[in-house]
Amino acid sequence: MSSSDIAIRVHNLSKRFEIYGAPRDRLKQFVLPPLQRLAGRRAGHYFSEFWALQDVSFEVKKGEAIGIIGRNGSGKSTLLQMICGTLTPTSGSIQTTGRVAALLELGSGFNPEFTGRENVYMNASVLGLSSDEINARFADIAAFADIGQFIEQPVKTYSSGMYVRLAFAVIAHVDADILVVDEALSVGDAVFTQKCMRFIRRFQENGSLIFVSHDTAAVQNLCQSGLWLKHGRVAQTGSAKGVSQAYLQYTLQEIYGDESSLSPLTPKTLGDEAGDGSSAPDAEAAPLLDYGSVATVRDNSGAAKGWKSGQADIVFVSFKPVSPGSDNVFSGGERVRVTVRAKANEALQNPILGFLVRDRLGQDLFGENTLPFSSQQPTPIGAGEQFEAIFEFRLPMLPNGDYAVMVSVADGDLYNNVQHHYMHDALIIHVSSEKIRWGLVGIPFERVELKVVHA
């Protein structure tokens, strides 16, 4: 890859912080080492070292979005501050091409005594805009922030949401080449968050994005690649989906501790046995609009990624119509049955079976689990026994593309459970339609009418 294609290049980046046990130790460090060197002695140090980052390297192409994930304290914010130039690396190098605009921790870059207007001028000027440029864009910035007359008040009187509104409004109007967003959108309301997401998607058409979030679905939605930081080091890089899945397994293992040991899945095809679970279907009503959709389902369990603890295994997954017909061709709107069968290798007190349908960006579209049933009627399972869940529903009409069906078996309740077998892509649904779909999922409409109303 040529240098002209790179927006950000980070090479062997490390950051060390000096931790002093008492104020006098800081004075000692300032005074004594120079004197010791003058006297020909080895200079001592009066602090403990904390390496927030060590040997971090990665590249971001122009127009690429990278998601950075990791637990609190893993070094994410430190990395972003060095990319933005507010922290100096201890070693290593950072190269950026173009203007960098950042939305870091809440209120960073704002003077709490200044008004919102004054902070807009200060922040925009730091990001490289002239006074004339800020004057020309101020009305648009104020309209984007939508905080009314509070823009003339000191920002120390602002709520957290107003802070984010104003900060994001500034970076949205400075013509940045690189946008850095660090968890800030989690404090905004739903309407403003949607506005920000629309801006980010427009920005991605030409600019490069660094997105930090604990929300792995958002990372998969917005980003092509991922970087997982663990204790200040790179734990994994790769596709946003692959990195997010590995991080999810790691975080669950940290929660479970010694209770269960999760191991990655190896390719294995599920058994082809399953009960029919047939029941009398409801009368099928013909939809008003013909969406011309064809959806096929294929078994992907042999290549599915995920993990298992060994205490229970999923042995069968099926996605079939309730009414007689082709087993793997759907049009949307018909009643379908999802069956998930598992085997308990050890006794399970409160087993849970569930599934989720996700789009290609990892967004959860719909799904269900057996918790509503088991909370009312507990069903303990003995070691060696098989059990299954059946879910019947009307299939939404999905836009064109591929969809993955995640399935899992767990033990516990809503607030405390252990996922014993988790498969990300057990089934793949492929949808092909000649008609336009609106939104992430469609539904069969029973009435659509246009008429003239006479007053």
pLDDT at 273: 44
| pLDDT score recorded for residue 262 | 77
Q: Which residue has the higher pLDDT, 168 or 279?
A: 168
Average pLDDT of the chain?
Answer: 84
Nearest to 156 by CA among 129, 119, 193, 196: 119
Q: Which amino acid is at 382?
A: G
| Residue 447 forms part of a structural domain | no
Lowest mean pLDDT among 274-278, 286-290, 449-453: 274-278
User: Is there a domain that residue 160 lies in?
Assistant: yes
Checking if the pLDDT of 172 tops 70, the result is: yes
Element at 411 (helix H, strand E): strand 401-412
**Confidence band, pLDDT 50/70/90 cuts, at residue 67:** very high
Packed helices 190-203 and 160-171: angle between N→C axes, nearest 10 degrees: 20
Whether residue 441 lies inside any domain: the answer is: no
Residue at 256 is within a domain: no
- The CATH number linked to 11 is 3.40.50.300
Please state which of the ranges 131-145, 154-168, 180-194 shows the lowest mean pLDDT. Answer: 180-194
pLDDT tens digits, residue range 352-384? Answer: 999 999 887 778 889 999 998 887 888 899 999
Q: H or E stretch including 166?
A: helix 160-171
Number of H helices, E strands in the chain: 9, 20
Same domain, 320 and 246: no
In the prediction, which pLDDT does 64 show?
93
CA distance 273 to 270: 9
What tens digit of pLDDT does each residue of 183-207 get?
A: 766 665 666 777 788 888 889 888 9
- Listed in sequence order, the residues at least 6 apart from 72 whose beta carbon sits closer than 8 Å to its beta carbon are none
Q: What is the pLDDT of residue 11?
A: 95
Whether residue 239 is found in the same domain as residue 270: no
* pLDDT tens-digit map of 386-439: 999 999 998 888 888 888 899 999 999 888 889 999 998 899 998 887 665 677
For residue 267, what pLDDT is reported?
60
Q: In percent, how much of the chain has pLDDT > 70?
A: 89
Do 239 and 273 sit in the same domain of this protein? no
Please tell me whether residues 373 and 243 are part of one structural domain.
no
What's at 117, amino acid-wise? R
- Are residues 116 and 240 both part of a single domain? yes
d(CA 167, CA 141): 10
Q: What integer is the mean pLDDT of 316-334?
A: 81
Residue 342 and residue 243 share a domain:
no
Tell me the mean pLDDT in the region 28-36.
Answer: 86
Q: Count CB-CB contacts under 10 A for residue 445.
A: 12
Query: Is there a domain that residue 445 lies in?
Result: no
In the chain, how many domains are there?
A: 2
Whether residue 363 sits in one domain with residue 309: yes
In this model, does residue 283 exceed pLDDT 70?
A: no
- For residues 266 and 256, give the distance between their C-alpha atoms in angstroms, rounded to a whole number: 21
Q: Tell which residue, 267, 220, 221, has the closest CA to residue 243.
A: 220
223 and 273 assigned to the same domain:
no
pLDDT at 275 > cutoff 60: no
Are both 374 and 231 inside the same structural domain? no
CATH number of the domain where residue 312 is located: 2.70.50.60
Helix (H, G, I), strand (E, B) or coil at 162: helix
| Helix, strand or coil, per DSSP, at residue 291 | coil
Residues sharing a CB contact under 8 Å with residue 157, sequence separation 6 or more, in sequence order: 150
Residue 289 pLDDT more than 70?
Answer: no
Q: Write out the two tokens for 419.
A: 């996922």
Same domain? For 271 and 308 the reply is yes
Q: In what order do the strands lie in the sheet with 65-69?
A: 100-103, 178-182, 208-212, 65-69, 225-230, 233-239
Statement to judge: residues 118 and 210 lie in one domain: yes
Which domain, by its residues, includes 98? Answer: 3-251
Query: Poorest-confidence range of 147-156, 221-230, 249-258, 404-413?
Result: 249-258
Same domain, yes or no, for 302 and 171? no
62-67: average pLDDT: 92
Count of C-beta atoms within a 10 Å radius of residue 91: 12
